[in-house]
């Protein structure tokens, strides 16, 4: 096996770089042809359980898949075909239960609380608002608005836009939440990202010095502490929140890959591996999540935006 270094420079992505000419616009879930290409490298097709999904393909050979149900990114493959995300073997694609794996949304609630676990955004159909291709790199924007289902739990009017940008060695997302109600509302959120891994070899760096809320052993009464490790490993069950986390974390996935997890305006991070409580697959993934634990309050017409940039820094190729 040979370790291949990827150039360390991370493309600077700013909000202004996303305001590009639009190629085509789509709304709603009606697709007469589930093999349609909306823009170069952006194709709508049929996925598991006959659910609509979008396949992004870059000119460099990388690929990503996004299910419109839950707006869940379920696959991110780099040019050599290696998938860096993980979908659990118990995942159900029935349009009723949230998809277990990939990058599920937690909105407007992270974790347990007044409404259903992790909110409703991962359990609703999103629509395609826009798609385009820039220099061979596909970009898609999906949209979610309130409906009777969301209002039965959280009685506010809102609009969420989720932009996904695929490049040769990176996958970036931009989440924008707008208060379209005439009253203020508050929410918490997270991207519950499942990375493919060999858990005995996983380490996460960049969180030394953060205040922690450790949910092991009692998730209802997390232990407060300060992280003092340079490299966090996963010898057993891990469910820990890192408050005021830095905007750059490094994941070594135990399979030879190093992934940079950068963010803008996600205030916290969460590490999770269920260990033997999920005997079937815990060895094969780790969750490293960007999160907003403290609730954000938005006044009418205000917006909140956060970005996540995943980049492959190094990988192992089998010779």
Q: What is the pLDDT of residues 216-269, one digit of tens each?
A: 988 889 999 999 999 999 999 999 999 999 999 999 999 999 999 999 999 999
CA distance 49 to 208: 42
Q: What is the pLDDT of residues 95-141, one digit of tens each?
A: 999 999 999 999 999 988 899 999 999 999 999 999 999 999 999 99
Catalytic residue, from 65, 132, 252, 289: name it: 289
Question: Could you count the other beta carbons within 10 Å of the beta carbon of residue 134?
Answer: 17
Q: And the tokens for 144?
A: 């979610």
Q: Is 192 annotated as catalytic? A: yes
Name the nearest CA neighbour of 141 among 162, 121, 122, 158: 162
Catalytic residue, from 118, 192, 252, 309: name it: 192
Please provide the CATH number assigned to the domain covering 42-313. 2.70.98.10
CA distance 162 to 104: 12
Strands 202-205 and 231-232: antiparallel
Q: What phi and psi, each to the nearest 5 degrees, are found at residue 245?
A: -70, 155
pTM of the model: 0.89
39 pLDDT above the threshold of 90: no
Query: Domain residues of the chain, as ranges?
Result: 42-313
Give the CA count within 13 Å in the CB-facing half-sphere of 71.
Answer: 27
More confident of the two residues 246 and 39:
246
Q: What phi and psi, each to the nearest 5 degrees, are found at residue 18?
A: -90, -10
Any idea how long the chain is? 319
Q: Is 309 annotated as catalytic? A: no
Per-residue DSSP letter, 12 = P
CA distance 220 to 108: 20
Q: Mean pLDDT across the chain, nearest whole number?
A: 90
């Amino acid at each position: 096996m040979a370790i291949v270094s990827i150039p360390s420079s991370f493309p600077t992505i700013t909000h202004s770089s996303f305001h590009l000419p639009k190629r085509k616009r789509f709304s709603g879930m009606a697709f007469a042809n589930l093999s349609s290409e909306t823009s170069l490298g952006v194709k709508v097709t049929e996925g598991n359980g006959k659910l609509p999904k979008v396949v992004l393909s870059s000119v460099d050979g990388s690929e990503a898949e996004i299910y419109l149900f839950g707006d869940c990114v379920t696959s991110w493959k780099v040019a050599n075909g290696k998938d860096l995300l993980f979908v659990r073997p118990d995942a159900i694609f029935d349009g009723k239960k949230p998809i277990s794996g990939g990058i599920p949304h937690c909105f407007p609630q992270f974790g347990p609380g007044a409404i259903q676990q992790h909110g409703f955004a991962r359990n609703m159909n999103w629509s395609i608002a826009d798609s385009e291709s820039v220099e061979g790199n596909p970009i898609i924007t999906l949209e979610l608005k309130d409906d009777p289902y969301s209002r039965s739990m959280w009685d506010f009017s809102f609009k969420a836009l989720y932009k996904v940008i695929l490049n040769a060695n990176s996958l970036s997302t931009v989440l924008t939440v707008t208060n379209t109600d005439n009253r203020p509302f508050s929410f918490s959120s997270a991207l519950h990202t499942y990375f493919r891994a060999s858990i005995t070899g996983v380490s996460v760096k960049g969180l030394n010095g953060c205040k922690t809320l450790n949910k092991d052993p009692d998730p209802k009464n997390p232990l407060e502490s300060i992280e003092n490790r340079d490299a966090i490993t996963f010898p057993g069950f891990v469910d820990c929140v890192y408050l005021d986390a830095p905007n750059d974390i490094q994941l070594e996935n135990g399979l030879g890959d190093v992934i940079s997890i950068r963010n803008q305006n996600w205030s916290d991070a969460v590490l999770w591996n269920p260990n033997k409580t999920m005997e079937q697959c815990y060895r094969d993934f780790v969750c490293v999540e960007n999160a907003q634990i403290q609730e954000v309050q938005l006044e009418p017409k205000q917006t909140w935006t956060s970005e996540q940039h995943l980049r492959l820094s190094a990988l192992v190729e089998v010779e």
